[in-house]
């Protein structure tokens, strides 16, 4: 397997993430569930790709495959030209649930990746009170949480926690950023505010981003490319560029071109919905 | 806020004093014999008079309990980590643990005496086995119920199993652990006293045994008072440490500030 992986380099110089004939099935025999049907996907370095589709279509599965949290049943997942798990790529991840550790302050939560991920972990003890602390504080300031570093997670609102969660996903300067509906549980205004924050951070740090979302407007605002997925089996049925220039604004999302784009995506998702089984 | 706290304090003190006052009053009212139930005032006098003789035994019991308890914590936490970190270990080891915990500890003391002779060693061991079970159960439960999302955060960072245990599993388990310590420390006293009663010539348990065979009931009750006091004192110590370490779980403001 390793031999094939090495003999089969990524097709393009820029390809950073590549899924090749990947499928994922749970269970055996009659109870087998196909979470992800035959899927090919290539993402360039520094790109921002959104995955949209109905629930249960395997969007999160793709994220988990790319981070190595799940292993593909068949096919290969490459990151940075190596099979996933073998590569030394720094990954940041943010979930719908902010998953802050309640016993740590917000700052310590943000600094968590520095404690775990090489090469930072070697210096953690020495630098946690100086350089790393400043780095966490700088990020917190950027998302508008400058004075909240010493608070504990339960003292912050949901939107604030999600901002902190973004900081944690970015503090170790990941080459790969995985966002699993990170704004899904927020109210509309907070969400739009965080889109702007996210866009700014991405334009500055240029990680390769894979965003899973239900929100087509969000996908249109943030992503360079939108992949539409269908369910049963989960599969990518459409892959389109988002032509708008950056930085994008909320006003842009009310323009006719933007609206017709989201409408097209919506129709794709609706038409790909599985026919309800009649009992 | 503070007023309410103070008021609760005062009420609990009033309640404790009231308990002894009612006890004293009932003894007077029904003219209860000393041999059946001594008056609290009499117990207090006995405590003061016999203190020089009781003190070394008190220290012995405290020492035995603490040593047994310390071993209990070490073994309990290690077992708890083993049982809690894997589904397999959980399923395999649990029935055995429950079976072990259901054995009346007083039945085990003679075996320890057979192996190690009478004295401090069986008392330490009894205190230890009494205190292990709640610790194992709580640590294992805390680890086994760690939210998968928290682990995913760590796994996405390529954290090792040890990293996850150290940074997520164990801190999350702390509130469970301290809850079990408060239970266990009182059980450790029970273990020590059982063993001292059966097989030792030192310690409060032994004093009470001899006193009761001499019908020196006030001294028996003086022993009980000492045990109760030690139990409450250690409980308070662990409550204090708990509030310092696991304040996050109770969302204490003072913890947040400090």
pLDDT, one tens digit per residue, over B153-210 is: 888 888 888 889 898 989 999 999 998 998 899 999 999 999 998 887 889 999 999 9
- Best mutation target among A101, A125, A185 (most B Cβ atoms within 10 Å) is A101
Count the neighbouring beta carbons within 10 Å of the beta carbon of residue A154: 12
ipTM topping 0.85? no
* Distance to chain B for A45, nearest Cα, Å: 19
pLDDT attached to residue B2: 60
- Which of B156, B251, B256 is nearest residue A91 as measured by Cβ atoms? B156
Contacts of A117 in chain B (CB under 8 A): 157-158
Q: Is B253 or A233 the better-scoring residue by pLDDT?
A: A233
Nearest CA in chain B to A64: B156
Write the DSSP symbol of residue A274: P
Name the percent of chain A lying above pLDDT 90: 16
Please report where in the chains the tokens 């407007």 appear, as a residue: A217
Task: Share the mean pLDDT of chain B.
Answer: 88
pTM over 0.80: no
**Token couple for A270:** 């609706």
Contacts of A65 (CB under 8 A, 6+ apart): A19, A22, A24, A36, A71, A72, A77, A84
Cis peptide before A247 (omega within 30 of 0): yes
pLDDT tens sequence across A163-212: 899 899 988 888 889 999 888 888 888 888 889 989 988 998 889 999 99
Whether the per-residue pLDDT at B231 is higher than 60: the answer is yes
Confidence of residue A275 (pLDDT cuts 50, 70, 90): low
Cis peptide before A119 (omega within 30 of 0): yes
Pick the CATH number of B42-248 from 1.20.1250.20, 3.40.50.720, 3.40.640.10, 1.10.3720.10: 1.10.3720.10
Average of pLDDT values for B79-99?
86
Cα separation of B123 and B64, whole Å?
Answer: 7
pLDDT tens sequence across B93-113: 888 888 888 888 888 888 999
Task: Look at residue B140 and give its three-state secondary structure.
Answer: helix
* Distance to chain B for A182, nearest Cα, Å: 13
Write the DSSP symbol of residue B136: H
Contacts of A168 in chain B (CB under 8 A): 153
Q: How many CB pairs under 8 A join A and B?
A: 61
Contacts of B252 in chain A (CB under 8 A): none
pLDDT tens sequence across A11-40: 556 788 888 888 888 877 777 788 888 888
In chain B, where are the structural domains located?
42-248
Whether the per-residue pLDDT at A2 is higher than 80: the answer is no
Whether the per-residue pLDDT at B255 is higher than 80: the answer is no
- Which of A69, A103, A168 is nearest residue B155 as measured by Cβ atoms? A69
* Distance to chain A for B181, nearest Cα, Å: 19
Q: What is the CA radius of gyration of chain A?
A: 19
Whether the per-residue pLDDT at A50 is higher than 60: the answer is yes
CA B48 remoteness from chain centre: 26
Lowest mean pLDDT among A148-152, B73-77, B244-248: B244-248
Tell me which range, A20-34, A139-153, B125-139, is most confidently predicted by mean pLDDT.
B125-139
pLDDT attached to residue A142: 83
Nearest CA in chain B to A172: B157
Residues 116-155 of B with CB under 8 A from A: 147, 149-150, 152-155
Cα–Cα distances in Å, from A22 out to A6, A28, A69, A72, A73? 17, 18, 15, 6, 7
Average of pLDDT values for A248-269?
89
* Distance to chain B for A119, nearest Cα, Å: 12
pLDDT attached to residue A4: 37
Lowest mean pLDDT among A5-19, A206-220, B228-242: A5-19
- Which of A92, A113, A151 is nearest residue B256 as measured by Cβ atoms? A151
- Which of A92, A103, A168 is nearest residue B248 as measured by Cβ atoms? A103
């Amino acid at each position: 397997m390793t031999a094939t992986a090495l003999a089969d380099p990524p097709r393009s110089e820029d390809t950073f993430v590549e899924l090749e004939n990947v499928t994922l099935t749970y269970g055996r025999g009659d109870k087998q569930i196909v979470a992800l049907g035959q899927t090919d996907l290539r993402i360039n370095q520094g790109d921002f790709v959104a995955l949209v589709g109905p629930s249960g279509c395997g969007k999160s599965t793709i994220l988990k495959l790319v981070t190595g949290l799940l292993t593909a049943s068949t096919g290969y997942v490459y990151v940075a030209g190596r099979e996933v798990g073998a590569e030394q790529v720094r990954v940041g991840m943010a979930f719908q649930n902010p998953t802050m550790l309640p016993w740590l302050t917000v700052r310590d939560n943000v600094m968590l990746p520095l404690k775990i991920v090489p090469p930072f972990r070697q210096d953690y003890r020495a630098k946690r009170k100086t350089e790393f602390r400043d780095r966490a504080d700088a990020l917190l300031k950027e998302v508008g949480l400058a004075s909240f570093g010493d608070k504990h997670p339960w003292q912050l609102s949901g939107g604030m926690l999600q901002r902190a969660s973004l900081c944690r996903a970015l503090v170790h300067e990941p080459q790969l950023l995985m966002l699993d509906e990170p704004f899904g549980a927020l109210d509309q205004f907070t969400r739009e505010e965080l889109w702007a924050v996210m866009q700014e951070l991405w334009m500055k740090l240029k990680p390769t981003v894979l965003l899973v979302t239900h929100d087509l407007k969000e996908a249109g605002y943030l992503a360079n490319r939108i992949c539409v997925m269908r369910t049963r089996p989960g599969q990518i049925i459409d892959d389109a560029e988002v032509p708008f220039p950056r930085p994008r604004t909320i006003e842009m999302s009310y323009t006719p071109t933007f609206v017709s784009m989201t409408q097209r995506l919506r129709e794709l998702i609706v038409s790909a919905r599985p026919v309800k089984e009649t009992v | 806020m503070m007023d309410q706290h103070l008021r609760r304090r005062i009420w609990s003190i009033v309640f404790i004093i009231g308990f002894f006052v009612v006890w004293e009053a009932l003894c007077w009212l029904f003219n209860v014999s000393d041999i059946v139930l001594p008056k609290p005032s009499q117990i207090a006098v006995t405590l003061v008079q016999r203190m020089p003789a009781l003190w070394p035994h008190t220290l012995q019991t405290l020492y035995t309990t603490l040593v047994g308890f310390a071993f209990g914590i070490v073994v309990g936490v290690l077992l708890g980590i083993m049982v809690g970190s894997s589904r397999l270990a959980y399923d395999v080891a649990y029935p055995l643990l429950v079976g072990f915990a259901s054995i009346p500890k007083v039945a085990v003391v003679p075996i320890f005496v057979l192996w190690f002779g009478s004295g401090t060693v069986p008392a330490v061991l009894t205190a230890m086995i009494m205190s292990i079970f709640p610790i194992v159960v709580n640590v294992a439960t805390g680890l086994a119920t760690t939210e998968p999302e928290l682990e995913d955060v760590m796994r996405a960072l390529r954290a090792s199993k040890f990293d996850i245990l150290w940074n997520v599993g164990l801190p999350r388990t702390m509130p469970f652990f301290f809850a079990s310590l408060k239970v266990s420390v009182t059980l450790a006293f029970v273990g020590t006293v059982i063993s001292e009663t059966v097989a030792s010539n030192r310690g409060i348990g032994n004093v009470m045994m001899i006193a009761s065979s001499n019908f020196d009931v006030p001294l028996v009750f003086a022993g009980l008072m000492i045990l109760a006091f030690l139990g409450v004192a250690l409980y308070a110590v662990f409550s204090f440490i708990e509030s310092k370490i696991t304040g996050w779980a109770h969302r204490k403001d003072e913890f947040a500030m400090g």
